[in-house]
Amino acid sequence: RYVFAKNLFEVGHLQPLEWAIYQDWHDFLLRHLGPRATLHGFLYLQARPQTCLERLRRRARSEEGGIQLGYLQQLHAQHEHWLVDRTTE
């Protein structure tokens, strides 16, 4: 909710209605399944987007071939806001 889906919405790949439905489902699942799943923390392996791109290129997986630096920069910024700055705005 705070990284990939939020990024899709911010770059225009999700319409406002789709984003609202996604958030409603997320809230529903948290209310109904949340009590059964206890989260103890996150392990954030922080890396520069350029480093991630170099690793993607080295792996040479066909399904990752179209990933651009700009996309990795967007995801990095979302992770930083959420996990480092502790904001989800």
Domain spans, the chain = 1-40, 42-89
> What are the φ/ψ torsions at residue 3 (nearest 5 degrees)?
-130, -75
Cβ atoms of residues 7 and 80 within 8 Å: no
CA distance 60 to 72: 16
pLDDT tens digit sequence for 1-14? 889 999 999 999 99
End-to-end Cα, the chain, rounded Å: 11
Integer CA distances (angstroms), 18 to 9, 11, 47, 86, in order:
9, 13, 30, 25
Cβ atoms of residues 89 and 9 within 8 Å: no
pLDDT tens digit sequence for 16-62? 999 999 999 999 998 888 778 777 888 999 999 999 999 999 999 99
